[in-house]
């Protein structure tokens, strides 16, 4: 029975007034209701999807380098597994909470379904600041966390991946801890590992690559030549730099790129290869710029395509009216707040949602899982070709709903996701 005091059961998403403060859980639920309104699905399925299947909360004690013991709290929220094992990242950040994991886990359910991957959604993490931990402390934290959640993860059960504050090395430790306890090397328990222990070629670049592929498909759909398309990219990290460089390579003119310090603006086109990404030289974009503008100015530049690829909630009620781009392709997760989304829709700005545009990461994670299970690595060329094919297939499915139902691109993506999940629930029924 639902407890009266359990925040998950208090339906916070039902009473959202200002989406400025909307949590991941509220957003995930709002999108669920919104998509359900367009579909003739059993209301009991929507009711089930409002809640996670299980949320695991564990205590993670570690010995610090100075010999003291510190106790952290870790979570793994498993939302829905009707289409396959749970899949989603592990985040190490001081703000990690149970609710945040549930909301982000729901987002993963929609993302995997829109891509038609045989996975459900999950998210987890530890409320800890990785910047305060040495590498050996982080390793001990990861190994102990792996032990605490060992019974509920596994290649056929729940497959974590890197997220904020975690990286391929974290996944290698997790895989090793799990494998040691299981008594067999099990690379498929996590994705986003270094290739030397079963990681996939092309995984790191995949979210940015998918953003670039979707931008290309948007241009094709709206009869724009990539060579005549101008692009502004906020954030020059894994997603932003990879997307910008590919689009530049494919002939688009990237006129602005930015990092936390500001934006480089070159109306004739930024030489994206010569600007160091966050990984290559952190926060150095403006050091190489002749003309520096602010991140706010970048968002309202008169370009064809705007790619927010840094943070969530950057396109707001305040600046949405000033967005001059014809298309927004969401590289970051949740860059557009819901009121801004409505303003952009009214103004005829097409917003291609995060669950489609940046889904290259989870798609190549799926390829990694297949490679691990089959004990056979794919070439980078094969990974990129198959990623392109998956992105095109997802785009076609979303485009078809967009055209038939006369909805926004975001609604079309959620409709595709929810109808697939609902169909699977209907086919499997309710046990017992």
Kindly state the smallest distance separating residue 312's Cβ from ligand NAD, in Å: 6
Kindly state the smallest distance separating residue 297's Cβ from ligand NAD, in Å: 12
| Residue 130 or 240 having the CB closest to ligand NAD | 240
Kindly state the smallest distance separating residue 117's Cβ from ligand NAD, in Å: 14
Rg (CA), the chain: 21
Q: Residue 230 to residues 167, 238, 294: CA-CA distances in angstroms?
A: 32, 21, 18
319-338 footprint of ligand NAD as x/- string (CB under 6 A): ------------xxx-----
Angle at 268 between CA 267 and CA 272, to 5 degrees: 95
Binder among 29, 235, 252, 301 for ligand NAD (CB under 6 A)? 235
| Residue 13 or 162 having the CB closest to ligand NAD | 162
Binder among 110, 236, 369, 414 for ligand NAD (CB under 6 A)? 236
| Residue 81 or 210 having the CB closest to ligand NAD | 210
Q: Does 230 bind ligand NAD (CB under 6 A)?
A: no
191 contacts 365 by C-beta, under 8 angstroms: yes
Q: Does 215 bind ligand NAD (CB under 6 A)?
A: no
Q: Does 187 bind ligand NAD (CB under 6 A)?
A: no
Kindly state the smallest distance separating residue 167's Cβ from ligand NAD, in Å: 10
Q: Would you call 123 a catalytic residue per the annotation?
A: yes
Kindly state the smallest distance separating residue 144's Cβ from ligand NAD, in Å: 25
Q: Does 284 bind ligand NAD (CB under 6 A)?
A: no
- What's the distance, Cα to Cα, between the start and end of the chain in Å? 17
| Residue 50 or 138 having the CB closest to ligand NAD | 138
124 contacts 90 by C-beta, under 8 angstroms: yes
Binder among 109, 358, 371, 408 for ligand NAD (CB under 6 A)? 358
Kindly state the smallest distance separating residue 326's Cβ from ligand NAD, in Å: 22
- Helix, strand, coil percentages, rounded to 5, for the chain: 50, 15, 35
Coil, strand or helix at 328: strand
Which one of 50, 87, 111, 123 is the catalytic residue? 123
* Choices 71-79, 175-183, 217-225, 232-240 (CB under 6 A): range interacting with ligand NAD: 232-240
233 contacts 226 by C-beta, under 8 angstroms: no
CA 245 – CA 252 distance, rounded (Å)? 10
Q: Does 248 bind ligand NAD (CB under 6 A)?
A: no
Q: Does 88 bind ligand NAD (CB under 6 A)?
A: no
Binder among 361, 372, 378, 415 for ligand NAD (CB under 6 A)? 361
Going by their DSSP bridges, the two strands 86-92 and 292-293 should be labelled as unpaired
Q: Residue 20 to residues 66, 135, 231, 316: CA-CA distances in angstroms?
A: 41, 36, 26, 8
Q: Does 85 bind ligand NAD (CB under 6 A)?
A: no
Kindly state the smallest distance separating residue 2's Cβ from ligand NAD, in Å: 30
CA 119 – CA 156 distance, rounded (Å)? 10
Q: Residue 397 to residues 43, 369, 402, 412, 414: CA-CA distances in angstroms?
A: 24, 24, 9, 9, 11
Angle at 398 between CA 339 and CA 205, to 5 degrees: 85
Positions annotated as catalytic residues are 123
Q: Residue numbers of the site for ligand NAD (CB under 6 A)?
A: 207, 234-240, 258-260, 278, 283, 295, 309-312, 331-333, 358, 361
């Amino acid at each position: 029975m639902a407890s009266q005091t359990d925040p998950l059961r208090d339906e916070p998403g039902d009473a959202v007034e200002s989406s400025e403060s909307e949590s991941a859980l509220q957003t995930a639920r709002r999108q669920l209701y919104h998509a359900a309104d367009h579909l003739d699905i059993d209301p009991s399925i929507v009711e089930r999807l409002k809640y996670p299947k299980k949320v695991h909360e564990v205590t993670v004690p570690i010995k610090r380098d100075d010999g003291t013991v510190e106790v952290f709290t870790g979570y793994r929220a498993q939302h829905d597994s009707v289409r396959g094992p749970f899949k989603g990242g592990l985040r190490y950040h001081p703000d990690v909470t149970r609710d945040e994991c549930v909301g982000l886990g729901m987002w993963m359910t929609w993302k995997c379904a829109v891509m038609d991957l045989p996975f459900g959604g999950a998210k987890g993490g530890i409320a800890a600041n990785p910047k305060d931990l040495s590498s050996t402390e982080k390793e001990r934290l990861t190994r102990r966390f792996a032990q605490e959640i060992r019974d509920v993860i596994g290649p056929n059960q729940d497959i974590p991946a890197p997220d904020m504050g975690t990286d391929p090395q974290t996944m290698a430790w997790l895989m090793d801890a799990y494998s040691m306890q299981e008594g067999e090397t099990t690379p498929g328990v996590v994705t986003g590992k270094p290739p030397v222990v079963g990681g996939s070629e092309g995984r790191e670049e995949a979210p940015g690559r998918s953003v670039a592929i979707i931008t290309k498909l948007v241009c094709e759909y709206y009869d724009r030549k990539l060579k005549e398309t101008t692009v502004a990219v906020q954030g020059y990290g894994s997603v932003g730099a990879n997307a910008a460089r590919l689009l530049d390579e494919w002939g688009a003119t990237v006129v602005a790129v930015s990092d936390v310090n500001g934006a480089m603006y070159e109306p004739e086109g930024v030489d994206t290869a010569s600007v160091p990404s966050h990984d290559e030289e952190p926060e150095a974009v403006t050091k190489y710029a002749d003309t520096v503008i602010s991140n706010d100015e970048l968002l309202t530049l008169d370009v064809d395509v705007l790619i927010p690829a840094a943070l969530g909630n950057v396109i707001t009620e305040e600046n949405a009216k000033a967005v001059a781009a014809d298309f927004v392709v969401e590289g970051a997760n949740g860059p557009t707040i819901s009121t801004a989304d409505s303003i952009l829709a009214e103004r005829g700005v097409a917003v291609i949602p995060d669950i489609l545009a940046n889904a290259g990461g989870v798609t190549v994670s799926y390829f990694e899982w297949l490679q691990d299970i089959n004990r056979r690595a794919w070439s980078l060329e094969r990974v990129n070709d198959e990623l392109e094919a998956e992105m095109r297939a997802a785009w076609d499915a979303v485009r078809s709903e967009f055209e038939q139902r006369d909805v926004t691109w975001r609604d079309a993506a959620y409709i595709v996701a929810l109808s697939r999940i609902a169909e699977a629930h209907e086919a499997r029924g309710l046990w017992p």
